[in-house]
Amino acid sequence: MRWLKISFERQFKILYIPAAAVIATSSVLAANYSIFRTTLLFVVIAIMAVIHWDLRDGGMLSKLVYKLGGSFEQRNLITISAAFLLVTLLLALTESFNSPIILIYCIPIIYASIRGGHRLSIPFGMSLTATTWIYFYVNSFIRDEKMAEINLYLALFVGISTATGFIAVRLRRAAVDLSALYETGRSLSSTLDSGEILKLAMNIILMDIKPDIAAIFIMKDKNILKIKESHGFEGDVSQWEVNIGRGLIGKAAERSESILVSTKNRRWRLNYEPDVDSKVAVPIIFKKSIIGMLLVGRKYDHSISFENLRFLEALASQMAISLQNAELYQKTKEWASLDGMTAVYNFRYFSERIEMEWNRAIRYEKPLSMIMIDLDHFKSINDTYGHVGGDKVLRDFAGLLKKYTRDTDIVARYGGEEFVVVLPETHYDDAYIVAEKLRSSTEDTSFKVEDSEEPINITISLGISNYPTTAFTKDDLIYQSDQALYQAKVKRNTLSSPLDQETTFDLTKEFS
């Protein structure tokens, strides 16, 4: 009883089953049909009420089909056929085929459109039209009955089945696109990693457009786009670069508007195979600036629709916002990890990275080296040229460190005039060579400060440590390079390591 009450309340809210049943019953009683015909009409009304019960959940007939193991397509065919059959029974029992009430067939036609679009509405509509025409054609000979409006009704059936079918497909497609764009926006905004954003965008393109080729380009510098994600191309396209203004992609970027090519055209031929007949280039724009391009292609002519184009443009708009947020986050993260004066990493970032690099070296059994650096007699520079001049020297020296180290090396300001360089996957001998290069390059460089034409020459002292040559823990690695630095500062303008003969400090130290 509770289920019946809940179900009835649901139906009553939408006023579908109760209203329809009351109207149908009142019509039957008012018509003064025979008892037999009235009984049959009540049976038909009852069947319609039962199979449409819980309509918002699909209806009882749909549930029965699924319960018996039927597929989605079988459910559609059975429910639509049942709708046409019930309408036919109603018309037959009420002898309404020769009246305008025959237009009630429009209801199952629209129902077919909702269920399966034009793929179901047109076949059912055409079948209905053919059957109805045959019925009236036969009646015109047997009973000599004619209905002047029948041709109009038949044309109306055909028109409604075609129009509503295609409208339903468009509406369903628009709903899917809106849902996809909503999910796209939510997915893209869930990450602040530009690489993840590009991968997500490519997956969305592959799922929605189903292209033969697809690519995402990101602006490398002012006039060059570089490919970052690709699908369907033959061979390696990882080095593919496009100049702004050249080819399909470059022209679309130059114009800041999409270019859709629907037929094979030599002018818009791509540099990589396969070269497809239909292709579209869509710019990724943020605040009137091009930050990237989308390229999508299909093999056959006119196989990319304007709906596809609108979807890609909406996706590009979502990507632009997400990529810009990711870039802003990355810049903020970098600013938080950089030393404000020298623009190299700060001590906090160094502490995080040395932990990561140490764990990585242990896990993969790779060497790890560290160089601790101190500027000799730096106090005299501050005393002579002031702190402004000293800061200028520190900035220029930090630039020199970055110049003579790899991109994978971590250059950080350890404190004051002390710097540290972490060299992943670098053996002791190689670290020694790098340290000597830094020392000699500093000695040979003339530094300049404002308000002084006299060049400033400085020297540095360096301490080296290495895993696994000298250190066996992360703390020992830092301790040894620090102690080696103090040992080097005794002589100045030199470098020292735990392996030097004059080493006087313990190689290990207890850390609490």
Count of alpha carbons within 13 Å of 254, Cβ hemisphere only? 11
Q: Which of 149, 352, 417, 510 is catalytic?
A: 417
CB 484 within 8 A of CB 502: no
Runs of H (alpha helix) within 143-246: 150-188, 194-208
Count of alpha carbons within 13 Å of 501, Cβ hemisphere only? 0
What is the C-alpha to C-alpha distance for residues 512 and 475, in angstroms, rounded to an integer?
Answer: 11
273 is catalytic: no
At 116 the three-state DSSP class reads helix
What is the C-alpha to C-alpha distance for residues 457 and 444, in angstroms, rounded to an integer?
Answer: 8
What is the C-alpha to C-alpha distance for residues 346 and 432, in angstroms, rounded to an integer?
Answer: 24
What is the C-alpha to C-alpha distance for residues 278 and 261, in angstroms, rounded to an integer?
Answer: 6
Rounded to 5°, the CA angle 88-90-96 comes to 85
CA 97 to chain CA centroid, Å, is 55
Per DSSP, 96 falls in state -
Report how far apart, in Å, the C-alpha atoms of 142 and of each of 88, 146, 148, 291 are.
20, 11, 17, 75
Which residues, 6 or more positions from 361, have their beta carbon under 8 angstroms from its beta carbon? 367, 368, 424, 425, 467
Which residues, 6 or more positions from 101, have their beta carbon under 8 angstroms from its beta carbon? 91, 94
Which residues, 6 or more positions from 512, have their beta carbon under 8 angstroms from its beta carbon? none
Q: Which strand (E) or helix (H) includes residue 337?
A: helix 306-337
151-157 CB contacts, 8 Å cutoff, 24+ apart: 153/102, 153/103, 154/129, 156/103, 156/106, 157/105, 157/106, 157/109, 157/125, 157/128, 157/129, 157/132
Phi first, then psi, for residue 371 (nearest 5°) are: -125, 120
CB 225 within 8 A of CB 298: no
Helix axes 306-337, 194-208, angle to 10 degrees: 170
Q: Which residues of 210-247 are buried (b: 16+ CB within 10 A; e: fewer)?
A: ebbbbbbbbbeeeeebebbbbbbbeeebeebebebeeb
What is the C-alpha to C-alpha distance for residues 64 and 54, in angstroms, rounded to an integer?
Answer: 12
Which residue has tokens 């670069």? 241
At 303 the three-state DSSP class reads coil
Which residues, 6 or more positions from 262, have their beta carbon under 8 angstroms from its beta carbon? 277, 278, 301, 302, 304
Question: Which residues are part of the catalytic machinery?
Answer: 417
